[in-house]
Amino acid sequence: MRNGCNRLSLCGKLPDAVEELTMRHSLACFTLALALCSVGTRGQSNSPAAAPLTIIRAGTLIDGVSETPKKNQLIFVRGDHIERVTEGSGATPAGAKVIDLSGATVLPGLIDSHTHIFLWGEDPAKGGYDANILKAGIALRAARATYAARRALEQGFTTLRDVETEGAGYGDVEIKQAIEEGTIPGPRLFCATRAISTTGGYNLEGYAPELEMPKGAQLVDGPVEARKAARQQLEHGADWIKVYMTHRSWVDKQGNLVSQPTLTVEELKAVVDEAHGWQKKVACHAYNGIGLQRALDGGCDSIEHGLEITDAQIAQMQRQGTWYCPTISAYYGDWAPADTPAGKRDRARAAVHEIGFKKALQAHLKIVFGTDIGGIPWTEPMAQEFQQMVKLGMAPMDAIQSATSRAAEMLDMKGEIGVIAPGAYAEVIAVSGDPLKDVGELEHVRFVMHNGSVFKSEIAK
C-alpha cells in the first residue's frame, strides 16, 4: 500500500473510511488493523501459518470442478482454508489431526442459490403464505430463520443465496451477522433483503381495500422509486437485489399459462443500473411471457424459475450471460384439485417448466441449483432438487456442479467456495454412497465442515 501500512492486508478489505484514515496516520492504522483482524477471526479472515493442520482422507473426491472423481485423496486444511490436495499415498505430517473419510464420497459444501430462511412453508391448512406475516411476530420469525440456517448447514449446504425475507425487512442481514460472529450456526449467506415489486405485484392481497396491508416485498412505481428502493436495500446490506418481474399466474381460455408482468423495462433498468454500480447483481423472479422478456431486456443477472423460456429467450440469455435458477421441486408439491383454476395452473406450470428446463439443458445455459425452500417447508430435504434435475435429464455431475463451482461463479466466489482446491475455504461434506450412481445420496449428508470447523460428523473415523 502507498502509505506503507501493509499489515492491513492481513484482514483483506477495509472500509474506505479506514483506508483514508490510514493515509494520514500509519501507526494508528496498524493498531486499528490488528484490532479489526482480531474481531474478524471467527468469521473469514485468512488463517495464520501457525493454525493447526487437519487432514481429511477422502475415499472418493468429487472436487466440484473436475468431470471425474478421484480416488484416495488427502485434503490439507489449515485454519479455515484448504492448503493443498494430494494423493492418498503421501505421508501425513506428525501432529496433524486426521479425519478418516476413506469409506465415503467427499464433496465441496453445497450452494443453494434460491432460499427463503424467513419463510415457514405455505401450507393452506396452516394459513398459507399470509400466516408468515400476519401470525408471526419478528422474534418468532427470527427464531424460525435461525432454525432454517441450522437445517441448511446440517444438510451440507454451506452457502445460501437467500432471495428475500418476505416481509421480515432486513432480518436476513442480521441473521448473517449472528452467523458471522459465531452466535448461531449457519451457512455463508448472500442476502437480498426485502425484494422489489410493484403495486398489485405482491402479497398480502385479497383483503378489504380499506385496509393498509403489509407486503412481502418493497413495492415501487416508476424508475425513481425503483432506484430508491434499490439504494435503500443496498445501503442496509443487500448482497443481491431480488425483483419480482411476474406475479399472479393462471391458465387462459386457450390453455396457455399466463403470468402478470410487474415492473416495466425502465423500472428494472433503474434497479439494475443502481445495483451494478455497487458491483451487485439482480435476480429476477419471472415465469414467462411479457414479464420474463422485460427481465431480460432490463439486463437482469439471473432468472429465477423461468418456467416457460422460449428459444429466443434462451438465445438472449446466452448472449447476455444470464444465469438460470429453475427451482423445479417447488412446482411439484401441493397441487390444488385438477378441476379448479388453481389446479389447472399448478399442472400447467409443471408441464411447461419441464419443457423449458430440458431446452435450457440442451442449450448449455448456465444452470444453478435452487430449491425455493421456505416456500417448501424447512423440514423437507433440500437435496430433493437434485433428483428432480436428474429426472429431467441432467447428468448427476452436472447437477452437483450447479450446486458447487457454477453457483460459486455466479456469486463471484470462484475458487473460494464450491470447490475442493488449494486456497478455497474449507467447506467439505461427505456422503456414504456414490451420488453419481444415486444422486439421492445427497439427501443424506453425514459429514459437514464449514470454514474449517467440523459441524457434523456421523461417519468420520
CB of 307 to Zn ion, least distance (A): 13
* CB closer to Zn ion, 77 vs 376: 376
Distance (Å, rounded) from C-alpha 182 to C-alpha 198? 37
Distance (Å, rounded) from C-alpha 152 to C-alpha 210? 40
Which region among 199-207, 336-344, 371-379, 383-391 touches Zn ion (by CB under 5 A)?
371-379
CB–CB of 240/161 below 8 Å? yes
CB of 20 to Zn ion, least distance (A): 40
CB of 372 to Zn ion, least distance (A): 4
* CB closer to Zn ion, 274 vs 372: 372
Which region among 20-28, 219-227, 369-377, 384-392 touches Zn ion (by CB under 5 A)?
369-377
CB of 129 to Zn ion, least distance (A): 11
Distance (Å, rounded) from C-alpha 449 to C-alpha 78? 12
CB of 116 to Zn ion, least distance (A): 6
Q: Does the footprint of Zn ion cover residue 267 (CB under 5 A)?
A: no
* CB closer to Zn ion, 372 vs 427: 372
Running DSSP on this structure, what letter comes out for residue 206? S
CB of 305 to Zn ion, least distance (A): 8
Instruction: Please give the backbone phi and psi of residue 3, each rounded to the nearest 5 degrees, phi first.
Output: -85, 5
Which region among 263-271, 318-326, 366-374, 453-461 touches Zn ion (by CB under 5 A)?
366-374
Residue 5: partners with Cβ closer than 8 Å, 6 or more residues away? 22, 26, 29, 30, 33
Which region among 69-77, 289-297, 343-351, 365-373 touches Zn ion (by CB under 5 A)?
365-373
Distance (Å, rounded) from C-alpha 400 to C-alpha 408? 12
Q: Which of 337, 341, 442, 380 is nearest to 122 (CA)?
A: 380
CB neighbour class for 281 (10 Å; exposed up to 12, middle 13-18, buried from 19): buried
Residue 232: partners with Cβ closer than 8 Å, 6 or more residues away? 218
- Which residue sits closest to Zn ion, CB atoms considered? 372
Distance (Å, rounded) from C-alpha 289 to C-alpha 448? 41
CB of 29 to Zn ion, least distance (A): 43
* CB closer to Zn ion, 334 vs 438: 334
Diameter of the chain measured on Cα atoms? 74
Per-residue exposure over 86-112, b if at least 16 CB sit within 10 Å of its own CB, e if not: eeeeeeeeeeeeebebbebbbbbbbbb
> Following CA atoms 300, 306, 311, 312 in sequence, which dihedral angle do they give, to the nearest 10 degrees?
-30
CB of 240 to Zn ion, least distance (A): 12
Distance (Å, rounded) from C-alpha 117 to C-alpha 123? 16
Binding residues for Zn ion, total number by CB under 5 A: 1
CB of 375 to Zn ion, least distance (A): 6
* CB closer to Zn ion, 123 vs 458: 123
Distance (Å, rounded) from C-alpha 190 to C-alpha 204? 25
Which region among 15-23, 40-48, 176-184, 370-378 touches Zn ion (by CB under 5 A)?
370-378
Binding characters for Zn ion, 206-245, by CB under 5 A (x = yes): ----------------------------------------
Distance (Å, rounded) from C-alpha 444 to C-alpha 289? 38
Q: Does the footprint of Zn ion cover residue 372 (CB under 5 A)?
A: yes
What type of residue sits at position 227?
R
Distance (Å, rounded) from C-alpha 237 to C-alpha 303? 22
> Which residues 74-103 are close enough to bind Zn ion by CB under 5 A?
none
* CB closer to Zn ion, 354 vs 372: 372
* CB closer to Zn ion, 130 vs 372: 372
CB of 450 to Zn ion, least distance (A): 24
CB of 457 to Zn ion, least distance (A): 32
CB of 322 to Zn ion, least distance (A): 17
* CB closer to Zn ion, 172 vs 372: 372
What type of residue sits at position 448?
V
Which region among 76-84, 169-177, 199-207, 367-375 touches Zn ion (by CB under 5 A)?
367-375
Q: Does the footprint of Zn ion cover residue 427 (CB under 5 A)?
A: no
* CB closer to Zn ion, 372 vs 416: 372
In degrees, rounded to 5, the angle at the alpha carbon of residue 234 between the alpha carbons of residues 34 and 236 is 65
* CB closer to Zn ion, 164 vs 308: 164
Which region among 246-254, 368-376, 398-406, 437-445 touches Zn ion (by CB under 5 A)?
368-376
Beta strands at 281-286 and 302-305: parallel, antiparallel or unpaired: parallel
* CB closer to Zn ion, 80 vs 372: 372
* CB closer to Zn ion, 239 vs 372: 372
**Site of interaction with Zn ion (CB under 5 A):** 372
